[in-house]
Amino acid sequence: MAEAQVLLKVSGLRVAYGGIQAVKGVDMEVREGELVSLIGSNGAGKTTTMKAITGLLSMNDGDIEYLGRSIKGKGAWDLVREGLVMVPEGRGVFARMTITENLQMGAYIRNDQAGIKDDIERMFNVFPRLRERKDQLAGTMSGGEQQMLAMGRALMSRPKVLLLDEPSMGLSPIMVDKIFEVVGDVYKLGVTILLVEQNASRALQMANRGYVMESGIITMTGEGVSLLNDPRVRAAYLGE
C-alpha cells in the first residue's frame, strides 16, 4: 500500500519576535488523512509555529512546504485559497454578524452559490447547535458555541489541511468533551488536521501521530497512543 502524501512539511523552522527566539529549528510533517497533535506547555512555541505555517508570522530561517511546494513568504490570504486554513486561538468570530453570516464569510473565496448553500446546510448537520441559533448574533453565543462556529466557518472554505489552535481553551468540562467530539466528526469528514492543544491526554488519544514541543524545539515524536503511554509525557503533561 502506497504511503500517504505529505501535505505539509516544516523544515528547520526558526521564528523570533520581540527579541525572543520562540521557535528554534522545528521539523514536522502532516500526511494526507492524518490527525496530528502538537502538544506542549504554555509558551512552548506551538501557536508561533502555527502562525508561521499559515503566513501570519514571518520565519527567520527554515522552510515550509505545502502540497510539495515552498510557501515561504506567502500570505494567509493566499494560503486559504490553496486550502491551508487555521482556526485561531480565541476563535475570532464576527461578533456583530449572525451565525449564518459568519458561515457565509468563511466561503468568501468561493463563488459557487449553490455549493455554498449546500455547505451551510452541511455545517448545520455537523453542528446542530448552530442550526438552532442560525439567526443569533455570534457575539452573544457561549465560548463553546463560538468555537463550533469558528470551525464551521473554516470548513466553508473546503480546506485540505485544517489547523486548530487550542480549540478547548477556556471552555467548561462539558463543552470540552463536545468540542473534541466535533473535532473527531470533522476528521471523519476526510479533513486532514493539525491540532495544537494543552489538553495533552485528549489530543493524543485521537491523534494518529503526535509531536511534543518544549522551549521552541520538538523533543519527542511518535504515534499518539505511544506518546500518551510514555512515562515522560505522562509526568510532564498528565500530572502522573
pLDDT tens across 211-240, in order? 999 999 999 999 999 999 999 999 988 775
Residue ranges making up the domain that contains 169: 33-55+75-237
Across 92-225, the runs of DSSP E, i.e. the strands, are: 161-165, 192-197, 209-214, 217-223
pLDDT tens across 166-175, in order? 998 888 888 8
pLDDT tens across 41-71, in order? 888 999 999 999 999 999 999 999 999 999 9
Q: Please state, in angstroms and rounded to a whole number, the distance separating the CA atoms of residues 10 and 53.
A: 8
Residue 13: all three cell numbers together: 523552522
**Do the domain assignments include residue 10?**
no
Query: Radius of gyration of the chain from Cα atoms?
Result: 17
Give the CATH number, domain containing residue 48: 3.40.50.300
- pLDDT at residue 42, as a whole number: 86
160, 192 contact by CB (below 8 A): yes
**Do the domain assignments include residue 102?**
yes
Q: How many residues does the chain have?
A: 240
The number of folded domains in the chain is 1
**Do the domain assignments include residue 211?**
yes
pLDDT tens across 81-135, in order? 999 999 988 768 999 999 999 999 999 888 899 999 999 999 999 889 999 999 9
Q: Please state, in angstroms and rounded to a whole number, the distance separating the CA atoms of residues 160 and 84.
A: 6
**Do the domain assignments include residue 24?**
no
- pLDDT at residue 91, as a whole number: 67
Residue 94, SS3 per DSSP: coil
User: What mean pLDDT is predicted for residues 7-14?
Assistant: 97
pLDDT tens across 178-200, in order? 889 989 988 998 999 999 998 89
- Quickly state the pLDDT bin for 152 (edges 50, 70, 90): very high
- pLDDT at residue 156, as a whole number: 93
User: What mean pLDDT is predicted for residues 146-161?
Assistant: 93
C-alpha distances out from residue 70 to 43, 55, 102, Å: 27, 12, 31
> How many other CB atoms are found less than 10 A from the CB of residue 194?
27
**Do the domain assignments include residue 13?**
no
User: What mean pLDDT is predicted for residues 32-46?
Assistant: 94
Q: Please state, in angstroms and rounded to a whole number, the distance separating the CA atoms of residues 82 and 157.
A: 10
User: Does the pLDDT at position 2 exceed 70?
Assistant: no
